[in-house]
Amino acid sequence: MSGSEKKQHHVVLGVTGSIAAHRAVDIASSLTRLDIRVEVVMTADALRFVTPLPFKTLSRNPVVTDLYDEEEGWKPSHIRMADEADLLLVAPATANCLAKLAHGMADDALTCIALALNHDARMLVAPAMNGRMWLHPATTRNVEILKDRGVDFIGPEEGMLSCGYQGIGRLWPVDGIVERVVSLLRC
């Protein structure tokens, strides 16, 4: 690589089973337009809210939806993605996902990537859930555990929630998430 060429940043976008999953499509699109390589990994619950097709089309990369998804080459896709990522962004992140990440559970592609993430990569989590779930002591503790490990958080914000409640729990605005990703990649 010559001095005038810059390395293309690589973000793995983890999408979990929240009603806010559709907003992750806009995140993938925005990051790709900024010439950031985006690879998407979706949990089984995320597939109940949005399909892989918009992510594949907008990121211009295959989407991992299962731990055992195969690709060419010998290295498992979740290990390759963990090795190559500059940043793992989980948006939206559910309470279930936060619990898995905090306690080292690795039962799907996303949580395996998180555990295998290279030591130079950052992790940014954008929670989205019911306010009572966000404020529950178990979730609060899981967030503390992750922050103590150096995980960055953005949100959630207050507003009208999809469950009909008013309060904290909304996914942070897409533009704000994208700005934070760019800021973390510059560090």
Annotated active-site residue in 97, 112, 163, 187:
163
Interatomic CA distance for residues 146 and 152, integer angstroms: 8
Is 135 in a helix, a strand, or coil?
A: helix
**Nearest CA-CA partner of 37 in 97, 96, 87, 79:** 87
End-to-end CA distance of the chain: 20
Q: Quick check: is 112 catalytic?
A: no
Interatomic CA distance for residues 103 and 97, integer angstroms: 10
Which of the residues are catalytic? 163
